[in-house]
């Protein structure tokens, strides 16, 4: 995996390994003739996942996106990885086998999706290698959301902004120290209301000789298509109270200095 145009695949693969530690599941390839509408109705919740790239690159220093400086260029802020309908088997809804295989290998040859300039710009500022990763995220997860690509990514961006505002200061304040799950959940309760913290978790990756680093933050939310109110509200304070509790993959980890 040497080419820069597919470096994001290795990011996704490494983070997927973290998911496997947190939740026991077998990846289920959906039949191409199952309709997206049918599968999206089976989803009763979703995960919003954001990555702290300094931790990822400390744990995976040889990753091409880390070695090239691409992830460092995103700055010290949580970056959007994805919005994933749950349960985990809800992937590639109504998507052909060819597209599934291309999404697994790399992202350069996936069919384009129609997005407004505003959403594309938002993704470029919030998601690493957005032109490629966004296509993978759409076909793997967005097709099971019950939304259009524009609505799906617009929704993810709105939610990611709220998460960054709440948790970025916690990560920057703890640089060079341990971040605990209790601190993360306490911040969620302070920002989004009592009980919100039970819907927030984190995952970690080990750096050789150093121990675990907090790689990402996950939030348990309602089904993607059910999030917006009639007036378009996407307030995390409301959404977190409507989601199932989330089991965290780790209880503490380092934040790079």
Domain boundaries, the chain: 4-254
pLDDT at 247 over 50: yes
Contacts of 86 (CB under 8 A, 6+ apart): 43, 44, 45, 46, 47
Nearest-angstrom CA–CA distance, 240 and 224: 13
Residue keyed to tokens 């793997």: 140
- Tell me the average pLDDT across 208-213: 94
Nearest-angstrom CA–CA distance, 253 and 257: 13
- Three-class secondary structure of residue 79 per DSSP: strand
Q: What is the pLDDT of residues 5-58, one digit of tens each?
A: 334 434 554 544 444 333 322 222 222 233 343 344 478 999 999 999 999 999
Nearest-angstrom CA–CA distance, 187 and 191: 6
Categorize the per-residue pLDDT at 224 as very low, low, confident or very high, splitting at 50, 70 and 90.
Answer: very high
Residue 108: the pLDDT is 74
pLDDT at 103 over 80: yes
Helical H segments across the chain, by residue range? 7-22, 36-41, 53-59, 64-67, 97-105, 117-126, 130-140, 149-173, 181-192, 236-241
Architecture of domain 4-254: Alpha-Beta Complex (3.90)
């Amino acid at each position: 995996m040497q080419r820069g145009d597919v470096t994001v695949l290795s990011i996704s693969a490494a983070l997927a390994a973290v998911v496997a530690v947190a939740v026991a599941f077998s990846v289920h390839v959906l039949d191409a003739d199952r309709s997206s509408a049918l599968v999206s109705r089976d989803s009763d919740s979703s995960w919003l996942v954001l990555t702290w790239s300094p931790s990822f690159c400390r744990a995976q220093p040889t990753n091409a996106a880390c070695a090239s400086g691409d992830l460092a260029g995103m700055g010290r802020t949580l970056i959007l990885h994805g919005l994933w309908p749950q349960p985990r088997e809800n992937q590639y809804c109504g998507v052909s086998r060819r597209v599934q295989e291309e999404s697994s290998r790399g992202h350069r040859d996936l069919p384009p999706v129609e997005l407004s300039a505003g959403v594309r710009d938002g993704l470029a500022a919030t998601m690493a290698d957005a032109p490629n990763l966004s296509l993978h995220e759409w076909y793997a997860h967005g097709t099971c959301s019950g939304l259009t690509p524009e609505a799906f990514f617009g929704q993810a961006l709105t939610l990611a902004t709220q998460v960054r505002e709440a948790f970025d200061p916690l990560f920057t304040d703890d640089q060079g120290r341990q971040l605990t799950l209790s601190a993360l959940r306490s911040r969620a309760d302070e920002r989004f209301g009592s009980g919100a913290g039970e819907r927030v978790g984190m995952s970690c990756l080990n750096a050789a000789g150093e121990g675990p680093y907090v790689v990402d933050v996950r939030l348990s939310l309602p089904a993607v298509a059910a999030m917006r109110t009639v007036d378009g509200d996407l307030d995390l304070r409301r959404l977190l109270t409507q989601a199932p509790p989330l089991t965290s993959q780790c209880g503490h980890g380092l934040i790079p200095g």
